[in-house]
Amino acid sequence: MATRPGQDLTTGPIARTLLLFALPTLGSSVLQSLNGSINAIWVGQFLGEAALAATANANLVMFLMFSAVFGFGMAATILIGQRIGADDVDGARRVMGTTIGMLAVGATLVALAGWLWAPNLLHLLATPPEVFDFALAYLRISFLGLPAGMIMVLLTMGLRGTGDAMTPLWFMILAAVIDIALNPVLILGLGPAPALGIRGAATASLIANIISLAALVAYIYVRDLPLRLRGSEIGYIVPERTLTRTIFVKGVPMGLQMLTVSISALAMIGLVNREGAAVTAAYGAANQLWTYIQMPAMALGAAVSAMAAQNIGANRWDRVGQVTRAGIWMNVLITGGAVLVMLAIDRHALSLFLGNDGHAMDVAQHMNLIVSWGFILFGVTSVLSAAVRANGAVMVPLAILIVAFFPVRLGLAAYYQPRIGADAIWWSYNAGALTTLIMTFAYYRFGKWRELRMMPQTDPIEAEEMVISGAEPAGRCQPNG
């Protein structure tokens, strides 16, 4: 049998392997979040509250566009993991090539559409007039970086599917350093650089994405990592019909899950915007803290996905349940600890974004106290979802999100906001988190997700190779809406 590249996630102690694989993923997520937070500090301190509120609106729109093609990357990631688990490296390369070809086209189309429709999207959000011009300038430049950003995320997701969590960490560090360093230079026009204002913040991210992507591709080839394509393998970038169909069939529902999250977030910020610019700025600042609270859960979910995918590919179903249970108790401990730490320092942390604005600070602290506890429930749900999606279960998780986010979260927020004000928005987060957890656990415990297969088995030799699935990606791609 061929030696499996990357880290073998099908053997060894469950908890230790899960934790060691999750830590670099957590580091990548924290770095990416720290990058966004520091950039928000630059914008808030140099350009003011209106500019900070603009980035909160623009970032949610960007995630909406990102989600339109991201589901395909999610499906490909676990397909790669299962191929690696079955010792089929060439199959993993075929998946990577097909997905790159699909996403290169899809991300370019989404970027063009986003550039053209950016004003319409901001109007749909009820973006306040004093925020609109800032948001439009930031958003349009951000769209230019979407194709490079999508390919970068796909490559890091694919590497994690092979069991390599360290390489994505190194290149996340590179991207974060470039982005953080360039922000004040381009915002203020330091040295020979022009003073671009809020456009400078978006341009810094664009440059960081392009440089880090080029460096990652070079590293993959220099180190001859499993997913590199050489010689005739370059032709894998032309999508194969069977793989394209499978990735599309499973990727669309997973993309719709992402779109459900982002559309809900857009609707929520529309409700928040109606409370005024100060509340919007407080919401944007609190979101920065919520991002960090979510990071352990996202990292553990990504680790569970990778481990489950390889074990399914290796037909080690006995380990899939053990991985899920280990992920749940680790999440409760780590996310619970993160909530306690964040509540202890929230005023100091929020002041980095809000300065001395007493009203916005009070609002942000209040919403943080209400919302943050629900992320423990979110973490448990993330682990359960990662396990079921690792075997191709996509339709039921999509239905669960639709119910929890729209009739429950948005319905409660919209109904009670005229009666109790902004508190209706904050409490609706926890109602949605609890609903999602209950339904996801019921599906994990009693559903038939273990019986699913994503591709028809055409012959006994190919049968094991052609069982594929989708799962949660790592990285900070979800907004906190």
CA 140/CA 61 separation, integer angstroms = 10
Q: Is the predicted pLDDT of residue 452 greater than 80, yes or no?
A: no
143 torsion bin: left (phi>0), alpha (psi -120 to 50), beta (else) = alpha
Q: Is the predicted pLDDT of residue 466 greater than 60, yes or no?
A: no
- DSSP classification of residue 4: P
**Can you tell me the mean pLDDT for 152-175?**
89
The pLDDT tens digits for 424-449 are: 999 999 999 999 999 999 999 998 88
The pLDDT tens digits for 336-383 are: 998 999 888 888 888 887 876 678 888 888 999 999 999 999 999 999
Is 397:388 a contact under the CB 8 Å cutoff? Answer: yes
In a domain, 28, yes or no: yes
Closest CA to 268 of 458, 79, 126: 126
CA 274/CA 259 separation, integer angstroms = 23
Q: State the pLDDT at residue 114.
A: 83
Half-sphere exposure of 410 (CA within 13 A, CB side): 19
- Strands of 249-356 (E only): list them: none
Q: Is the predicted pLDDT of residue 476 greater than 70, yes or no?
A: no
**Band of pLDDT at residue 78, cut at 50, 70 and 90:** confident
Range from 16-30, 50-64, 152-166, 358-372 carrying the lowest mean pLDDT: 50-64
Question: How many Cβ atoms from other residues are within 10 Å of residue 120's Cβ?
Answer: 8
The pLDDT tens digits for 265-307 are: 878 888 888 888 888 888 888 887 887 888 888 889 888 988 8
Could you tell me what percent of the chain has a pLDDT over 90?
A: 26
Q: What is the mean pLDDT of the chain?
A: 83
In sequence order, what DSSP letters do the residues of 258-288 get, joined into one string?
Answer: HHHHHHHHHHHHHHHHTT-HHHHHHHHHHHH
Domain extent, residue 305, equals: 14-449
**Can you tell me the mean pLDDT for 87-108?**
88
In a domain, 207, yes or no: yes
Contacts with 236 (C-beta within 8 Å, 6 or more apart), sequence order = 93, 94, 96, 97, 98, 229
Tokens 């609106």 correspond to: 57
Instruction: Record the tokens describing residue 459, joined without a space.
Output: 């012959």
**Band of pLDDT at residue 469, cut at 50, 70 and 90:** very low
User: Percent helix, strand, coil in the chain (nearest 5)?
Assistant: 80, 0, 20
In a domain, 410, yes or no: yes
User: Which strand (E) or helix (H) includes residue 388?
Assistant: helix 374-389
CA 77/CA 389 separation, integer angstroms = 11
The pLDDT tens digits for 299-343 are: 898 889 888 888 888 888 888 889 999 999 999 999 999 899 988
**Band of pLDDT at residue 453, cut at 50, 70 and 90:** low
Is 323:387 a contact under the CB 8 Å cutoff? Answer: yes
Q: Is the predicted pLDDT of residue 472 greater than 70, yes or no?
A: no
**Can you tell me the mean pLDDT for 164-187?**
91
In a domain, 468, yes or no: no
pTM equals 0.75
In a domain, 460, yes or no: no
Does residue 371 or residue 37 have the better pLDDT? 371
Cα 309 to chain centroid distance, Å, stands at 19
Sign, CA torsion 234/240/246/248: positive
User: Which strand (E) or helix (H) includes residue 416?
Assistant: helix 411-420
Number of domains the chain contains: 1
CA 477/CA 153 separation, integer angstroms = 9
In a domain, 457, yes or no: no
**Band of pLDDT at residue 6, cut at 50, 70 and 90:** low
In a domain, 212, yes or no: yes
In sequence order, what DSSP letters do the residues of 139-179 get, joined into one string?
Answer: HHHHHHTHHHHHHHHHHHHHHHHTT--HHHHHHHHHHHHHH
SS3 249: helix
